[in-house]
């Protein structure tokens, strides 16, 4: 379906043309004076110069052409030359009927679906997920779901940090602790044990310990580098141990991401492209792009338009070791070869902005991508505590993601119990806990996604878990309210499938309908600008309009059955639109709360 504003603009353009003016002047926008009108057109003001006429005269001419319009119920020319507009009930009814009958509520399939790879999450194996990883997972999952809903073919890849120095550190520390293990016996030719010689808890302790030691002790560091080298050159015992590290870590990561309702299509990592590096480096040298500078292999990525010094992209260190850059570039090569994407999207902290600019320039210059391949880095801001500094636990450490989720869920449980006690009913403890998990996830995700990705935000448990205001729980509460009305309607013998939309009756109903009509335009903007926050803002408005309508309209007690069925059909559409929106944001609603 066409977007509402486009239809209104088409009608307005016809009127401009019919009145003898340039059709291009007929752009309709949402009113910035909602007390006066629903929409407006400022084209007469813009046309004044061109036609050497007072804007109000042009506006009057155009308004006259709209007196019979089936789209505009009101088109009033006001000084100095605005056109104040209201739409007809018939037009609105037609539009929402179209939405209700359409599979994606008015969103059409793209003419040219894109193939997209999105690289998000990006956790490092053997390290606990901490809150710093939250945003990449949460925003990335939503950006992916929005693109998928819009009809694009998008593949999500976790891009594990599973290869460099940290792996050598872990292996070295393990060797010091358990020298007797067969992995360290170079003469061992048998089968290595199937069981890992450590648990995830041990692994998460080993890495920081080893990393700490390596900073103090140069010998320890050198030995760990040696182990990194052995792993990367394929020493059998090192590879077997590494396999264990990956398996133990990945199963823990899967459990955690599942809690967050974040799903990856590909679980590739830095290690996946290890074998592609020599070939890629060769090509960069042969193409004349890479050269040696201070012993390291680099590619210049300066551009003439740069106003600041732009550092070259390092491909290999002076000892020949690869870096974070190298694996990212080789990953681009692999994705281009295997998936042939039109677009690559990356989600990381915005402190990596410059890094990705280098990588993208280098990939273009060395022709790893096609000239038309789109490369997008979405750099997000920091999640801060109430003190405005990066969020810390009460004891001052970087909190594990799990603890953060537990903290929200506990508060959610308390609020759910309090809410039911206020309403005078008792909740089943187990059920309340399940509900708290669902609502808690919405609290976390909405709290994050309702901000523009690039902005820092304050993680505020009290505010995020509130049932009122611009929060996830408020949105879910609204959906649950609609579900409950629909259930009661069914209990009264009503049939949801037979309920047909009826002409819009009163102001709050019209406002709700007009909000619903913005769905396809909102989704499109959220997709084009990679901005889940637009969907949050939309469902907040929609929930507010629904609640106003609900408070002003006796629905289930309505005696005119056709009219009642009309309200119900509107509720069904509102519920479907809200549920579609929260699904692309990556959370869901409970049955009751």
Positions that interact with ligand ARG (CB under 6 A): 119, 122, 124, 159, 161, 328, 346, 348
Instruction: List, in sequence order, every beta strand (DSSP E) within 231-342.
Output: 290-293, 296-299, 313-316
Q: Is 359 helix (H, G, I), strand (E, B) or coil?
A: helix
CB of 287 to ligand ARG, least distance (A): 23
Q: How far apart are CA 40 and CA 30, in angstroms?
A: 6
Q: Which is nearer to ligand ARG, 11 or 328 (CB)?
A: 328
Q: Which is nearer to ligand ARG, 273 or 512 (CB)?
A: 273
* Contact (CB, 8 A) for 153 and 117: no
CB of 130 to ligand ARG, least distance (A): 10
CB of 371 to ligand ARG, least distance (A): 22
CB of 168 to ligand ARG, least distance (A): 16
CB of 230 to ligand ARG, least distance (A): 22
Q: Which is nearer to ligand ARG, 292 or 454 (CB)?
A: 454
Q: How far apart are CA 363 and CA 369, in angstroms?
A: 6
Per the DSSP assignment, residues forming a β-bridge with 84 are: 40, 76
CB of 127 to ligand ARG, least distance (A): 8
Q: How far apart are CA 361 and CA 201, in angstroms?
A: 40
User: From the CB of residue 376, how many other CB atoms can be counted at a distance below 10 Å?
Assistant: 15
Q: Which is nearer to ligand ARG, 273 or 531 (CB)?
A: 273
User: From the CB of residue 498, how many other CB atoms can be counted at a distance below 10 Å?
Assistant: 9
Per the DSSP assignment, residues forming a β-bridge with 296 are: 293
Q: Which is nearer to ligand ARG, 65 or 361 (CB)?
A: 361
* Whether the bond into 80 is cis, omega within 30 of 0: yes
Q: How far apart are CA 155 and CA 340, in angstroms?
A: 11
CB of 378 to ligand ARG, least distance (A): 11
* Contact (CB, 8 A) for 486 and 572: yes
φ/ψ of 387, rounded to 5, equals -85, 0
CB of 392 to ligand ARG, least distance (A): 18
Task: Kindly list the distances between the CA atom of residue 494 and the CA atoms of 437, 490, 503, 559, 566, in Å, as whole numbers in the listed order.
Answer: 32, 5, 20, 13, 12
What's the burial of 492, exposed, middle or buried (CB within 10 Å: 0-12/13-18/19+)? Answer: exposed
Query: Quick one: angle between helices 134-149 and 561-585, nearest 10?
Result: 130
Virtual CA dihedral for 542, 547, 549, 551, nearest 10 degrees? -170
Q: Which is nearer to ligand ARG, 72 or 346 (CB)?
A: 346
Q: Which is nearer to ligand ARG, 124 or 271 (CB)?
A: 124
User: What are 567's two structure tokens?
Assistant: 């309200």
User: From the CB of residue 346, how many other CB atoms can be counted at a distance below 10 Å?
Assistant: 23
CB of 379 to ligand ARG, least distance (A): 11
CB of 356 to ligand ARG, least distance (A): 8
Sequence-ordered list of residues with C-beta below 8 angstroms from that of 385, at least 6 positions apart, any chain: 391, 392, 458, 459
Q: Which is nearer to ligand ARG, 331 or 502 (CB)?
A: 331
Q: Which is nearer to ligand ARG, 119 or 411 (CB)?
A: 119
Identify the H or E element spanning 441.
Answer: helix 429-449
User: What are 180's two structure tokens?
Assistant: 């007797």
Q: What is the 3-state secondary structure (H, E, C) of 542-573?
A: HHHHHHHHHHHCCCCCCCCHHHHHHHHHHHHH
CB of 459 to ligand ARG, least distance (A): 19
Q: Which is nearer to ligand ARG, 61 or 328 (CB)?
A: 328
Q: Is 318 helix (H, G, I), strand (E, B) or coil?
A: coil
What's the burial of 57, exposed, middle or buried (CB within 10 Å: 0-12/13-18/19+)? Answer: middle
CB of 332 to ligand ARG, least distance (A): 9
* Contact (CB, 8 A) for 31 and 38: yes
User: What are 214's two structure tokens?
Assistant: 């390596």
CB of 159 to ligand ARG, least distance (A): 4
Q: Which is nearer to ligand ARG, 124 or 435 (CB)?
A: 124
CB of 344 to ligand ARG, least distance (A): 9
Q: Which is nearer to ligand ARG, 175 or 333 (CB)?
A: 333
The residue number whose beta carbon is nearest to ligand ARG equals 122
* Contact (CB, 8 A) for 241 and 169: no
Q: Which is nearer to ligand ARG, 166 or 312 (CB)?
A: 166
Q: Which is nearer to ligand ARG, 375 or 496 (CB)?
A: 375
């Amino acid at each position: 379906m066409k977007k509402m504003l486009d239809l209104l603009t088409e009608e307005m353009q016809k009127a401009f043309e019919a009145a003898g003016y340039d059709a291009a002047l007929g752009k309709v926008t949402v009113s910035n004076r909602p007390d006066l009108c629903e929409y407006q057109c400022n084209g007469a003001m813009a046309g004044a110069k061109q036609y050497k006429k007072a804007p109000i005269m042009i506006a009057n001419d155009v308004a006259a052409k709209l007196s019979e319009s089936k789209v505009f119920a009101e088109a009033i020319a006001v000084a100095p030359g605005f056109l104040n507009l209201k739409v007809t009930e018939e037009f609105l009814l037609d539009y929402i009927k179209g939405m209700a009958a359409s599979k994606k509520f008015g969103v059409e399939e793209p003419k040219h679906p894109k193939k997209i790879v999105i690289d998000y999450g990006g956790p490092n194996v053997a390290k606990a997920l901490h809150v710093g990883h939250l945003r990449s997972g949460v925003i990335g999952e939503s950006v992916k779901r929005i693109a998928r809903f819009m009809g694009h073919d998008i593949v999500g890849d976790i891009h594990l940090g599973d290869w460099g120095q940290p792996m050598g550190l872990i292996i070295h520390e393990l060797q010091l602790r358990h020298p007797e293990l067969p992995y360290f016996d170079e003469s061992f030719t048998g089968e290595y044990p199937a069981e890992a010689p450590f648990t995830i808890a041990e692994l998460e302790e080993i890495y920081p310990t080893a990393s700490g030691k390596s900073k103090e002790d140069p010998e320890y560091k050198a030995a760990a580098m040696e182990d990194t080298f052995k792993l990367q050159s394929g020493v059998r015992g090192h590879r077997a141990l590494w396999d264990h590290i990956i398996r133990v870590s990945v199963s823990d990561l899967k459990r955690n991401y599942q809690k967050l309702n974040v799903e990856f299509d590909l679980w590739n990592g830095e290690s996946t492209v290890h074998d592609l590096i020599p070939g890629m480096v060769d090509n960069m040298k042969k193409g004349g792009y890479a050269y040696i500078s201070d012993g390291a292999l680099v590619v210049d990525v300066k551009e003439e338009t740069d106003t600041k010094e732009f550092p070259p992209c390092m491909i290999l260190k002076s000892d020949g070791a690869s870096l974070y850059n190298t694996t990212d570039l080789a990953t681009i090569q692999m994705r281009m070869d295997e998936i042939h994407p039109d677009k690559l999207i990356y989600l990381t902290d915005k402190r990596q902005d410059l890094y990705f600019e280098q990588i993208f320039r280098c990939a273009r210059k060395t022709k790893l991508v096609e000239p038309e391949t789109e490369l997008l880095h979405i750099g997000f801001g920091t999640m801060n505590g109430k003190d405005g500094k990066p969020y810390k636990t009460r004891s001052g450490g970087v909190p594990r993601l799990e603890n953060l989720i537990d903290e929200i869920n506990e508060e959610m449980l308390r609020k759910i119990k309090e809410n039911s006690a206020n309403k005078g009913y008792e909740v089943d403890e187990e059920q309340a806990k399940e509900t708290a998990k669902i609502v808690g996830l919405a609290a976390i995700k909405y709290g994050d996604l309702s901000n523009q990705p690039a902005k820092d935000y304050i993680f505020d448990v009290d505010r995020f878990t509130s049932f009122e205001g611009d929060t996830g729980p408020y949105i879910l509460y609204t959906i649950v309210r609609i579900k409950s009305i629909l259930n009661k309607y069914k209990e009264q013998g009503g049939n949801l499938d037979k309920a047909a939309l009826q002409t819009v009756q009163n102001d709050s109903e019209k406002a709700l309908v007009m909000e619903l009509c913005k769905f396809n335009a909102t989704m499109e903007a959220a997709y084009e600008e990679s901005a889940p926050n637009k969907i949050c803002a939309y469902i907040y408005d929609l929930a507010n309009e629904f609640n106003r309508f609900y408070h002003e309209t006796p629905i289930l007690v309505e005696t005119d059955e056709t009219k009642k069925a009309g309200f119900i059909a509107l509720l069904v559409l509102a519920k479907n639109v809200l549920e579609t929106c929260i699904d692309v944001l990556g959370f869901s609603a409970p049955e009751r709360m």
